[in-house]
Amino acid sequence: MKGALVVFFAGFGVMAQVTVAPLFPLDAAVADLGLLVIVFTALLAGPKATMWTVPLIALFLGFSTSRAPGLLLLAYLPFLPLAYGLGETGMPLNRYLRTLLAALATGLWARGLLGTAAFVQGAQFAPGDLIGAILLPGLVLDALLVTLLYIPCRLAGRTGRSLSLRRTGWVT
Amino acid sequence: MVIFQRYTWWVAAMVGLAVLLTAASQVGVLSPFQGVFLTVTSPFERLLSGTFRPVASLLSGAGDTSSLQEENNRLRLQVETLQVQNVTLQQAADRVKDLEEALKLTEGRPDEVRVAANIVHRDASPFTDVVVIDRGTSSGVKVGQVVISAQGTLMGTVTKATPGQAFVRLISDSKSKIASEDLQTKASGVIQGTANRGIAFELAQAEVKVGDNIVTSALTGRFPAGIPIGKVTEVTGTPQDLFRTVKVESLVRLATATTVLVITSFVPQDVGAAP
């Protein structure tokens, strides 16, 4: 059942990414709904489900677009270790800030990697546009969407699961 | 490093999988699965697009009512002007036809075959503007074929085709480069996509001015000559400058187009490629 839900949400996230996200761009950046599905799978279903969600999102997004699934997998790879690492470093960050920071860093990495790949594949080299029109607006979109979706989860009492592979259950 | 203490095996496995997937997609092993995935998801994608497209239109127009009214008035005047021009051109076309018949000449593309297709979804990741259409190899669509709007404006080229769907790289994609020319001054150049999904006309030391029409050139053999692309909206620099920045606005709204035509009768030739 949990596996079917993971596949469903991954598929839904990818379909929304290629149909809904391009309709609401901010400058040249669009929301990364694939990343959003990964973030909320980690929060609501825990690390093991996220370990399956990441390659599924990459594979489905690779099928839906003309991009290499391997590249997309590398783009989304840092979220889980980063979110876990931020929790273990002892920094005075609550769960929302840890999630937000990990999501923003992964979004930055993903857009940077995909932009660099586009340069390598023949797009005109434009680092100024990459930073000003894609990375910065992308950060704003990611921050906005993570916050907008985190609030209802928080109000519903779902503060998120631990990302440690040793611990299970809800953290209070 | 603390970050990787518990996730080392997973990160390593994913990097290995990424390499494997890259190799598999390079040799085309994933293509059949991709075709099945696109076929299964396209009805749901149509539903999502159909639901959110009106919302996006409403939001983009909500804060812009006065400029929309101005645009509407301007377009009404433009329509009237174009209708008058159309009558004149129709008369000229009839005259040309008569002369061609008299001289035993044939018209430009009388046997052009086009396949109509709907845009299913769009990949708008960084520097990319690719759409997926609901016609593929089973409808005669092949890689390299030219895609135009319903009114005949150039939209892009087919980069990949499965039996039921095809990927079309739009002219606003940063990797898109199209040999083209200024219809008024005959200056040759390259139409290239920009980072913010616009288009620019790259040319060296030539005369070009705002309002000029840009059309495709047959120079590379990849496009039929004379397909309209757009109008010049901004020119910076002087004709003596080695490279000038020329912004072009497509005649079709690439972001909201829903129907396209694929010219299946045109066989692109890569003239510039090595034999």
Closest CA to A81 of B9, B8, B3: B3
Over residues A39-46, mean pLDDT: 90
> Are residues A140 and A26 in contact, defined by beta-carbon separation less than 8 angstroms?
yes
The pLDDT score that the predictor gives to residue A15 is 95
- Please tell me if residue B59 touches chain A, with a CB cutoff of 8 Å: yes
The pLDDT score that the predictor gives to residue B143 is 93
> Beta partners for B158?
B168
For residues B224, B129, A60, B53, the Cα torsion angle rounded to the nearest 10 degrees is -110
The pLDDT score that the predictor gives to residue A33 is 95
Closest CA to A77 of A110, A101, A44, A45: A110
For chain A, state the CA radius of gyration.
Answer: 16
For residue B36, what is the nearest residue in chain A, using CA coordinates? Answer: A63
CA angle B119–A145–B132, rounded 5-degree value: 15
> Are residues A25 and B56 in contact, defined by beta-carbon separation less than 8 angstroms?
no
Judged by CB atoms closer than 8 Å, whether chains meet at B126 and A114 is answered as yes
Highest mean pLDDT among A53-67, A152-166, B61-75, B185-199 belongs to A53-67
Query: Which residue range forms the structural domain that includes residue A52?
Result: 2-155
CB-hemisphere CA count at 13 Å for B85?
6
| In-domain check, residue A51 | yes
The pLDDT score that the predictor gives to residue A114 is 93
Q: Which residues of B87-114 are buried (b: 16+ CB within 10 A; e: fewer)?
A: eeeeeeeeeeeeeeeeeeeeeeeeeeeb
Over residues A135-163, mean pLDDT: 87
The pLDDT score that the predictor gives to residue A170 is 38
ipTM of the prediction: 0.86
- Region of B226 (left: φ > 0; alpha: ψ -120 to 50; beta: rest) is left
> What percent of chain A clears pLDDT 70, i.e. is strictly above it?
92
3-class SS of residue A27: coil
Closest CA to A35 of A107, A105, A101, A84: A107
Closest CA to B176 of A71, A124, A48: A124
For residue A78, what is the nearest residue in chain B, using CA coordinates? Answer: B11
User: Which of B21, B127, B172 is the best residue to mutate to test the A interface, defined by the most A CB atoms within 10 Å of its own CB?
Assistant: B127
Mean pLDDT for back-to-back runs of 10 residues, chain B (275 residues): 67 94 90 91 89 80 72 82 80 78 60 87 88 93 92 92 93 92 88 87 82 89 90 82 82 85 85 42
| In-domain check, residue A24 | yes
Looking at 3.30.70.240, 2.40.10.10, 1.10.10.10, 2.40.10.340, the CATH number of the domain B114-263 comes to 2.40.10.340
A151-156's contacts with Cβ under 8 Å and 24+ in sequence apart are A153/A40, A153/A43, A153/A44, A154/A96
- Please tell me if residue A90 touches chain B, with a CB cutoff of 8 Å: no
Judged by CB atoms closer than 8 Å, whether chains meet at A66 and B125 is answered as no
CA angle B257–A66–A24, rounded 5-degree value: 45
Judged by CB atoms closer than 8 Å, whether chains meet at B6 and A166 is answered as yes
User: What's the pLDDT tens digit per position in B85-133?
Assistant: 887 787 788 778 777 776 665 555 556 788 999 999 988 888 889 999 9
> Are residues B156 and B170 in contact, defined by beta-carbon separation less than 8 angstroms?
yes
Considering only CB atoms, which chain A residues are within 8 Å of B6? 84, 164-166
Q: What one-character-per-residue DSSP string does chain B give?
A: -HHHHTTHHHHHHHHHHHHHHHHHHHHTTTHHHHHHHHHHHHHHHHHHHHHHHHHHHHHHHHTTHHHHHHHHHHHHHHHHHHHHHHHHHHHHHHHHHHHHHHHT---SSTT--EEEEEEEEEE-STT--EEEES--GGGT--TT-EEEETTS-EEEEEEEE-SS-EEEEETTSTT-EEEEEETTT--EEEEEE-TTS-EEEEEES----TT-EEEE-STTSSS-TT-EEEEEEEEES-TTSSEEEEEEEESS-TTT--EEEEE-S-----TTS--
Closest CA to B241 of B189, B202, B205, B187: B205
The pLDDT score that the predictor gives to residue B132 is 94
CATH at A8: 1.10.1760
Total domains in the fold of chain A:
1
Judged by CB atoms closer than 8 Å, whether chains meet at A23 and B52 is answered as yes
For A112, the enclosing helix (H) or strand (E) is helix A95-120
Q: State residue B116 phi and psi, 5-degree precision.
A: -80, 140
CA angle A169–A149–A54, rounded 5-degree value: 65
The residue with greater pLDDT, B16 or A126, is B16
> Are residues B168 and B175 in contact, defined by beta-carbon separation less than 8 angstroms?
no
> Are residues B175 and A121 in contact, defined by beta-carbon separation less than 8 angstroms?
yes
Which DSSP symbol is given to A28? T
- Please tell me if residue A71 touches chain B, with a CB cutoff of 8 Å: yes
In whole angstroms, give the CA distance from residue B170 to residue B124: 11
The pLDDT score that the predictor gives to residue A166 is 56
Q: Which amino acid appears at position A130 of this protein?
A: L
- Please tell me if residue A40 touches chain B, with a CB cutoff of 8 Å: no
Judged by CB atoms closer than 8 Å, whether chains meet at B195 and A85 is answered as no
| In-domain check, residue A33 | yes
In whole angstroms, give the CA distance from residue A129 to residue A141: 17
> With helix as H, strand as E and coil as C, how does A119-145 read?
HHCCCCCCHHHHHHHHHHHHHHHHHHH
In Å, what is the CA distance from B141 to each residue of B115, B147, B261? Answer: 8, 10, 10
